[in-house]
Amino acid sequence: MKYEDYGWLAVAVGVLVIDAHAPRGRTLSHGFARYRRKRPAVVTSVVAYLLAHLYGVVPPRFDPLHRLGVTLGKSDWTTNEGVG
């Protein structure tokens, strides 16, 4: 497994552990539904941006997460390396 595989595995395990220990009606899915009811435009925008980032459709110079990777020395400035 590669480094990023461990990261995704940690995300999946984290979600499972949190939901397994959540009180009834307090899972991450319930929280997401609550956020979506309170602030639908914000939640939809954040989810759409994250999907666009993960699919590599946001041009690198306009992608805040890509820019963070560049700042931290983890990404090349001009490409969505590894995407696609």
Give the pLDDT means over successive 10-residue stretches in the chain (84 positions): 94 97 97 97 97 92 89 74 54
Q: So where are the chain's domains?
A: 3-71
CB 64 within 8 A of CB 81: no
CA distance 11 to 23: 20
CB 75 within 8 Å of CB 66: yes
What pLDDT sits at residue 48? 97
